[in-house]
Amino acid sequence: MKPGTNGRAIATMVGAMTCFVLNDALVKHVSQAMPSAQLIFLRGLMASALVLLVAHRLGALRRASALLNPRVALRGAVDACATLMYLLSLFQLPIANATAINLAAPLFMTVFAVLFLGERASMARWAALVLGFAGVLCIVQPSGDGFNAWTLLCLLGTLFHATRDLMTRRIDPGIPSIIITLATALAVTLLSGCLALAGDWQATAPRELALLGVAAGFLAAGYFLLVQCMRSGDVSLSAPFRYTAVLVAVLLGYAVWREVPNGWAWLGIALLVGSGLYMLHSERGRARAAALDAQPE
């Protein structure tokens, strides 16, 4: 692994999670005035158009045939199915329960990386992963009576998300990341479009369309950064930093809705921050040791 690769992977993971949370906040606001399927479809159209424009400006459309590459197309289909399963379960579960299940993805990602990518996850990485997930549970505080058959669907969606990230590493490095991003955006849009046709459709105000446009920008950026992250660095290292989504959500909740965390949430925040700092400290020590070993005697 080249020096700095893992650092870039962590940075892109944090950036992706931040973009996804900002997208979710905007979608949550717009959903009060628009059917969910219609919202997801319109947002997907905007995100796809934006990614298509960026791909054109980068000259990547010369590789547009890669959209039909079996691994690229399958990754997009898996992502679309994962999104559908998560949203369907989200409508039926308490949001805290769905969030906790969805953020089990780093655990699955690390296990998959060890089993299928041949990575060696150190004790520090496992410890940070477990501490981070404990922090997530303290913050979202899921209720025991909220777990039912929809929980299994949400868990399956989480497994699909982890599988999607594993599949990203198997795609030909010569295929531009923006093309993989475009495949994902198109797959989600097509699937949500089928749902939108089967449901109610209503007129949309310009303000809601504008907010959806901003959300689509964050969504497209999140897609791209996540692809970049999964194509570089160790998956078992970057996976725990997916938990930063919870920290960003807490900060956003306070800044916008003046939601103040309770005692358990503060404990969770401390665990999340502590696990991240511990991971960074451990990896810095490993990098220094590797550099010393590489020096000629």
Q: Which domain holds residue 56?
A: 5-120+146-237
Residue 40 belongs to some domain of the structure: yes
Residue 213 belongs to some domain of the structure: yes
Residue 221 belongs to some domain of the structure: yes
Please report which confidence band the pLDDT of residue 95 belongs to, taking 50, 70 and 90 as the band edges: low
Q: Which residue in 42, 79, 69 sits closest to 214, CA to CA?
A: 42
Residue 23 belongs to some domain of the structure: yes
Are the C-beta atoms of 123 and 131 separated by less than 8 Å?
A: no
Residue 280 belongs to some domain of the structure: no
Q: Which residue in 39, 43, 33, 40 sits closest to 213, CA to CA?
A: 43
Residue whose pair of structure tokens reads 């959300």 in the numeric block: 215
Q: What is the pLDDT of residue 59?
A: 95
- How many angstroms separate the CA atoms of 275 and 245, rounded? 14
Q: What is the pLDDT of residue 141?
A: 85
The whole-number average pLDDT for the span 141-152 is: 77
- How many angstroms separate the CA atoms of 54 and 132, rounded? 35
Q: Residues near 112 by Cβ (< 8 Å), separated by ≥ 6? A: 162, 163, 166, 235
pLDDT per residue as tens digits for the range 230-268: 998 888 889 889 999 888 888 888 888 787 888 898 999
Residue whose pair of structure tokens reads 């497209």 in the numeric block: 220
Residue 50 belongs to some domain of the structure: yes
Residue 129 belongs to some domain of the structure: no
How many independent structural domains does the chain possess?
1
Residue 154 belongs to some domain of the structure: yes
The CA angle 19-21-23, to the nearest 5 degrees, is 70
The whole-number average pLDDT for the span 93-118 is: 82
pLDDT of 2 over the 60 cut: no
Cβ count within 10 A of residue 144:
6
Q: What is the 3-state secondary structure (H, E, C) of the chain?
A: CCCCHHHHHHHHHHHHHHHHHHHHHHHHHHCCCCCHHHHHHHHHHHHHHHHHHHHHHHCHHHHHHHHHCHHHHHHHHHHHHHHHHHHHHHCCCCHHHHHHHHCCHHHHHHHHHHHHCCCCCCHHHHHHHHHHHHHHHHHHCCCHHHCCHHHHHHHHHHHHHHHHHHHHCCCCCCCCHHHHHHHHHHHHHHHHHHHHHHCCCCCCCHHHHHHHHHHHHHHHHHHHHHHHHHCCCCHHHHHHHHHHHHHHHHHHHHHHHCCCCCHHHHHHHHHHHHHHHHHHHHHHHHHHHHHHHHCCC
- How many angstroms separate the CA atoms of 48 and 184, rounded? 9
Most confident of 77-86, 191-200, 248-257: 77-86
